[in-house]
Structure 1
Amino acid sequence: MARTDRRTKTVITLAALTAAGIALAGCSPAGGSGDDGNGKTLKLWHYEGADSAMGKAWNEAIDVFEKETGATVEFEEKSFEQIQKTASQVLDTDAAPDLMEFNKGNATAGFLASTGLISDISDAVEKYGWDEKLAPSLQTTAKYSDDGVMGGDTWYGVPNYGEFVGVYYNKDAFAAAGLEIPTTYDEFVDVLDAFVAQGVTPLAEAGAEYPLGQLWYQLALRKGDRSFVDDYQLYKNPVDWQGPEITSATETLKEYVDKGYIADDVSSIKAEDAGVSFINGKAPIFVSGSWWFGRFVAEATGFDWTMTAFPGADLSLGSSGNLWVVPENAANKELAYEFIDITMRPEIQAIIGNSGGLPVAADAADITDEKSAELIDTFNGILDKDGLSFYPDWPAPGFYDVIVQQLQGLVTGAEDVKAVDEGLGKAYDEGTADFR
């Protein structure tokens, strides 16, 4: 829901947005922007909560921006769903914002880029040097080809935070079981066996939503390399759905259920349920994203815990965070670029880092929170190995639902490994045919 803010900017409530039919807030002043922003307004949309790492950082960026430019920020808080559903209609009108947060990926930012609804910002990237601050795998989701495939040559967005999937461990539960946090995949499996032997289901998982599919893809990445990721995500070559990466992942996931590493009712469990089982200390291990980190800091206070990259794998699920994009119809593009640049400053990046987020351009010395520093070090280690490998559902529209359904069939025994891989491959090939 919308919030009331202390700043001199307009906040449109969710109720008002609904009544209006689409998320609009009146017309922005006509004309572009020079260095002098006096009398001008930057119309900004994003969907981060006020208490989130990005929300805190961007609120500070608004204050800095208004003081430095003399312009006013007209901020409209949207939901993720509002922007996703209305963007293609609103951005083609004079009501488009000057700057907005938008989801990265081929079916989202790539689609807007291919239809000309968001601007080529390559000149601004060069002017401000944002490319020098972003690791190659972070740049992939910000650059698109003419047909909207990420990893192209043209910049259409800029991320200022990142995310990855790793493993959360309940250190107290490990100590009580006489176990060490694993550093190799073999040690990881040994730990799973040890917990099962003690009557504990070790992995918090969810088969009704994304976590199980992300575990499946991580198991494929353990056997894969960058060329596998490029084939799967960027359509460089056909994906072999009966090849070693995918076959091993599907077989291993089935073994996890059969051996009791995952609860046998996993197909009906949602992500929230899995996260809460870790928070409550019921499950000692949770394979999921850095987006849980801040919540665990606040709520998983009954025990000591840590997060690492998936053991024994050079590749990890993850990407840049969502993108700042500038609509083609934006009235004040130069102001938008100035705001983006402020969000890339070390002091703003430090707010993200010290609030449980993953900054992309922070100075290590500015991260004073010990737990946050550990998280950022892990993320930077993945970046140093060019390890971010995106998400399994990205390549094709609707593929998320296919992955959920196929893996539910696998873990319930309704489908065998070969049938699941064939079903996934058929949907993938059909969904990506226009890109290959």
Structure 2
Amino acid sequence: MLTARKRTKRTVAVIAAALAGALVMAGCGDSGDDAGDGKSLKLWHYEAPNSAMGIAWKQAIEEFKKSHPGVTVKVEEKGFEQIQKTASMVLNSGDAPDLMEYNKGNATTGLLSKQGLLTDLTPEVTKRGWDKPLSPGVRTTSRYDAQGVMGSGNWYGIPNYAEYTMVFYNKTLFEKHHVKVPTTFAEFTAALEAFKDEGVTPLASAGAEYPAHQYVYQLALTKADRSWVDAYEQYKGKPDFHDAAWTYGATTFADWVKKGYIAKSSSGAKAEDAGAAFIAGKYPMFFSGSWWFGRFTSEMKDQWGTFPFPGSNLTLGSGGNLWVVPKGAKNKELAYDFIDITMKKGIQNTLGNHGGVPVAADPSAITDPQSKSLIQDFTAYADADGLAFYPDWPVPGFYDTLVSETQKLITGSADPDAYLDALKKAYDAGAPKG
């Protein structure tokens, strides 16, 4: 989700336990390395056990074992940040997994495809029809050209879910402080002010990881259109970091910090801190992604709900993280079979009923009301071409730039102009030349 799909600190700590049951069922426990003989699938992913993906993929492992008797599934504990920082090195060694969940976009999957570290999945996509249920906006992050730019070229990853951002809100706190749930941007800012007047900091955020710069990007999106997104994300034009949209995003975010809508202390907070604080009822609102949905469902005691970010036809979102098959994978056919299982109706329906956004579910099989609403809101964005991807995707290393520079915006050690200058410098250094 870290960007999109950036994963929480808690995920790293619990991933082994998350899949322990599945691994037992899958016959794991063999410490010998029998990879390469078609009897072992080495799988990396970093989903929390109570997330929709963690639940669905546990089921997928069980189904994979039934259809592949004698095959051992080996799931290794990895964290999002760990994979993000070491993927190129690991995949260029003999330790590559057969199948890996990986972040999408030019800076991640695009970079690995350009480096020749991923398997071209185009023949399997054609053979197995994985492309058929994917909407155009979801497909974008699966294909990369020779320069590693998303949107065209060969298929290097397959998403079996989608994701997007929204405002999560605490219904209990809204009722307690008599604040109206906003439907327009004016009502949204009025709600922020109303909570502040009550002595409540309205927005959970985190400057040490993705949430803070996603606020900036979403605010910019309220003044942007599809051509603006395409210029920034896919180099279909030259982005202007001092245009009306970027300027509005940076200045409004800085203003929100000054007004106390976002705590200055959040500069050092991580995504897990923000999510846990929202779960604990310390903040009435948290702008973040659908990857939190399952966790909020299982852990929040207060009543809660969601609404689209007001005043914008665009929001952060895309297909979910990708299943990628490393070039050096030893059991690629098993990896393809596992991907295939995650695209089946049964797994997709499980995703949908546990707070995920499936790409190929049977709509009539999604019975949970909150999940139905989540999927409907995503579909509305997707149908209107409203998925604007994530701000760190365009160039390698941009995530770290966004984090460090947005922290400066929170603390006041950089003003909006200096912030945007820093983004431009990093972007221009990493973007394709010519």
How many Å separate the matches in 1 of 2:94 and 2:254?
Answer: 52
State the Cα distance separating 1:344 from its structure 2 match.
Answer: 0.7
How many Å separate the matches in 2 of 1:143 and 1:171?
Answer: 40
Structure 1 SS opposite 2:169? strand
How many Å separate the matches in 2 of 1:150 and 1:49?
Answer: 27
Pairing 1:2–2:22 present: no
**Where does residue 417 of structure 1 map in the other structure?**
416
**Where does residue 339 of structure 2 map in the other structure?**
340
**Where does residue 110 of structure 2 map in the other structure?**
110
State the Cα distance separating 1:11 from its structure 2 match.
Answer: 4.7
How many Å separate the matches in 1 of 2:49 and 2:175?
Answer: 37
Q: For 1:336, give the aligned amino acid.
A: A
1:174-193 map, 5 Å: 174-193=174-193
1:60-79 map, 5 Å: 60-70=59-69, 72-79=71-78
State the Cα distance separating 1:44 from its structure 2 match.
Answer: 3.1
Q: For 1:116, give the aligned amino acid.
A: G
**Contact persistence 2:50–2:295 (CA under 8 A):** no
Pairing 1:285–2:292 present: no
Per-residue Cα deviation, 1:363-421 (whole angstroms, up to 9, x for no partner): 22212222222222222222122222121122222222322232232233322222221
Structure 2 SS opposite 1:319? strand
State the Cα distance separating 1:90 from its structure 2 match.
Answer: 4.6
* Structure of higher CA gyration radius: 1
**Contact persistence 2:133–2:359 (CA under 8 A):** yes
How many Å separate the matches in 2 of 1:332 and 1:269?
Answer: 40
Give me the TM-score of the superposition, normalised by structure 1: 0.88
Per-residue Cα deviation, 1:261-298 (whole angstroms, up to 9, x for no partner): 22243323333332233222222111112222222112
- Closer, same or farther in 2 for the Cα pair 1:412/1:90, shift >3 Å? closer
**Where does residue 35 of structure 2 map in the other structure?**
28
State the Cα distance separating 1:199 from its structure 2 match.
Answer: 2.8
How high is the sequence identity, in percent, across the aligned residues?
A: 52
How many Å separate the matches in 2 of 1:233 and 1:205?
Answer: 24
**Where does residue 36 of structure 1 map in the other structure?**
none
**Segment drifting more, 148-157 vs 200-209:** 200-209
Structure 2 SS opposite 1:267? helix
- Closer, same or farther in 2 for the Cα pair 1:2/1:155, shift >3 Å? same
State the Cα distance separating 1:70 from its structure 2 match.
Answer: 4.3
Q: How many residues align?
A: 415
State the Cα distance separating 1:82 from its structure 2 match.
Answer: 5.2
How many Å separate the matches in 1 of 2:315 and 2:331?
Answer: 38
Q: For 1:102, give the aligned amino acid.
A: Y
RMSD: 2.4
How many Å separate the matches in 2 of 1:403 and 1:83?
Answer: 19
How many Å separate the matches in 2 of 1:92 and 1:322?
Answer: 21
**Contact persistence 1:393–1:403 (CA under 8 A):** yes
State the Cα distance separating 1:166 from its structure 2 match.
Answer: 1.0
- Closer, same or farther in 2 for the Cα pair 1:387/1:8, shift >3 Å? same
State the Cα distance separating 1:349 from its structure 2 match.
Answer: 0.8
How many Å separate the matches in 1 of 2:411 and 2:93?
Answer: 48
Pairing 1:173–2:180 present: no
Per-residue Cα deviation, 1:58-100 (whole angstroms, up to 9, x for no partner): 2222332333354624322230355445543454466544322
Per-residue Cα deviation, 1:335-358 (whole angstroms, up to 9, x for no partner): 332221211111101111222222
Q: For 1:9, give the aligned amino acid.
A: G
Structure 2 SS opposite 1:180? coil
Give 5+ residue unaligned stretches, structure 2: 1-14
**Contact persistence 2:26–2:62 (CA under 8 A):** no
How many Å separate the matches in 2 of 1:255 and 1:342?
Answer: 48
- Closer, same or farther in 2 for the Cα pair 1:381/1:79, shift >3 Å? same
**Contact persistence 2:170–2:285 (CA under 8 A):** yes
Pairing 1:375–2:389 present: no
**Where does residue 197 of structure 1 map in the other structure?**
197
Structure 2 SS opposite 1:374? helix
State the Cα distance separating 1:125 from its structure 2 match.
Answer: 1.3
**Contact persistence 1:137–1:388 (CA under 8 A):** yes
Structure 2 SS opposite 1:101? strand
State the Cα distance separating 1:209 from its structure 2 match.
Answer: 2.5
How many Å separate the matches in 2 of 1:316 and 1:155?
Answer: 25
Give me the TM-score of the superposition, normalised by structure 2: 0.88
